[in-house]
Amino acid sequence: MMLKKPIQTILLAFAIWFCLLFGIGQNPTIAATLTEAELISPERMQTLPESNLESGVDSFLTSIPAGYYTIANVEGLKSFLKKHQSVLVDVREASEYRSGHIPNAINIPLRTLSHNLNLIPRDRPVVLYCSSGYRSAMGVMTLHLLGYNNVLGFPPSFAAWKTAGEAIALR
């Protein structure tokens, strides 16, 4: 049990590195391609040493579905929000949020996400967005690593919402 916290930390770091390296939040097509691709051949997998960490990482990566937990466009987000009693979370910094955000979104900056888990329900859908998709992708992966299975990302993010001419709340 002493290794649980370090393993979670390593998995989180790996997920964030992966998101930054490949920019998954920017393009759901890339995410779907990456999750469906065979990145390590079966022969190579047999030469890797067995460990709980590798097994945990493998289990986590193979559980990522095609589409990478995403809502792909503005109309999709609007429809999803109408159909579900969901929580919309803006993971941008407070100053960005105050300068304009999607109506009814709450602000939990990405760097404070793990300190505000009490604001994120487990019993209804949660949708994360940011300005361009990177931070929301990291937030989705972080929450999934923490056991939240009800979290989606909106990779088109605030930029697409604004470009579509949708209502913007100021605060």
Please identify every residue annotated as catalytic: 130
Q: Is 165 left (phi over 0), alpha (psi -120 to 50) or beta?
A: left
Q: Which residues pair with 153 in a beta bridge?
A: 70, 128
> Burial code of 123-154, b = ≥16 C-beta within 10 A, e = fewer?
eebbbbbbbbbbbbbbbbbbbbbeeeebbbbb
Helix axes 28-36, 4-22, angle to 10 degrees: 120
Q: Which of 143, 92, 140, 90 is nearest to 117 (CA)?
A: 143
